[in-house]
Amino acid sequence: MSLRGENPNSLRARLRAYHEHTRGAFTGFLMGFPLALTYTLCVVFGPLEPAQRDFFVRLQIQLVGETAYAAVQVSLAVTFLVLIIVLQRRGRFQARYFGPLVVESLFYAALAGLVVWAVMAVFNVRPLYPTPKVSFALVSALGEAINEETFFRWVLLEALRFVLIRLCQLRRGLALALTLALGTAIYALVGTFLSPVATAATPLRFATLTLAGLLFGSLYLLRGYTVSAYTHLFYATFWIGVAPYVDI
């Protein structure tokens, strides 16, 4: 939607339209469909052993079983695909924004990676992940991007924001700051003590996850689910798939 009197073909109007489309809760979430579909196929048919699956996948499979989990995921994938096709035809979903979204997410991932790398370099520590197979690295990165951004940002941060603003009636700025702080703390605690990574329960991992939680939480509050999910994918791909081979 352009402002009154503004040329809809101007750069400013196009940037605003891109921001609104990728920031929107519904259209933005649909743009995360390729991540969700790829990860679903990898979990159901891919290279991960049961012990290597992330916490949220293991929890869902324990609750409903592998067959039901696979059926639900495939059904969701089909539903998302149909929605995208229908909305694209009606002009309510713009697939052309996908390329710029990927570029923007790569930029944020590079910044986040440099920040975390710099902090780790100061303390002369190594990445926490063991040297993985390429397939494990990519699927693990997909799992982090989908499940962590869905549960810790899209669900947790929105719930905290609702409670603090609507129920506690705090000022918006204070509520958002508390939302980010509480969400980051919960994310770091869960990632430290419930991660399948062997070296998880260490002060270093907690500190690293706290920093990452602040970065991804801030990005989610500013740019929405899809940008934070793709940023998380590129960030995690680097740390899981590349950093173990590189001396800091």
In the numeric block, which tokens belong to residue 91? 């002009």
86-95, 128-137, 175-184, 225-234: the lowest-pLDDT one? 128-137
Angle (CA) 199 50 138, round 5°: 70
Q: Is residue 6 part of a domain?
A: no
90 or 124: which leads in pLDDT: 90
Supply the mean pLDDT for the chain.
82
Q: Residue 16 to residues 9, 10, 23, 63, 190: CA-CA distances in angstroms?
A: 11, 10, 10, 42, 36
| pLDDT classification of 179: cutoffs 50, 70, 90 | very high
Residue range 1-24, pLDDT digits in tens: 445 556 777 888 888 888 888 887
Q: What is the pLDDT of residues 194-241, one digit of tens each?
A: 765 545 557 777 888 899 999 999 999 999 999 999 999 999 888 776
Number of domains observed in the structure of the chain: 1
Q: pLDDT per residue over 42-79, tens digit each?
A: 777 765 566 556 677 777 888 888 888 888 888 888 88
Residue 135 has pLDDT above 70, yes or no: no
Amino acid letter, 63: L
pLDDT of residue 213: 93
In a domain, 1, yes or no: no
Once rounded to an integer, what is the mean pLDDT over residues 150-167?
A: 94
Q: Picking from 87-96, 148-157, 206-215, which range would have the lowest pLDDT averaged per residue? A: 87-96
- pLDDT tens figures, 220-233: 999 999 999 999 99
Looking at residues 117-136, what average pLDDT do you find? 67
Which residue is it, tokens 């995921």? 73
209 occurs within a structural domain: yes
In a domain, 4, yes or no: no
Rg (CA), the chain: 19
**Is 25 domain-assigned?**
yes
Residue 48 within any structural domain of the chain: yes
Name the percent of the chain in helix, strand, coil, to the closest 5.
Answer: 80, 0, 20
User: Does 94 map to a domain?
Assistant: yes
User: Which bin fits 124, alpha (ψ -120 to 50), beta or left (φ > 0)?
Assistant: left
Joined together, the tokens standing for residue 143 give: 């799992």
- Is residue 5 one of the residues assigned to a domain? no
Domain that holds residue 120: 11-245
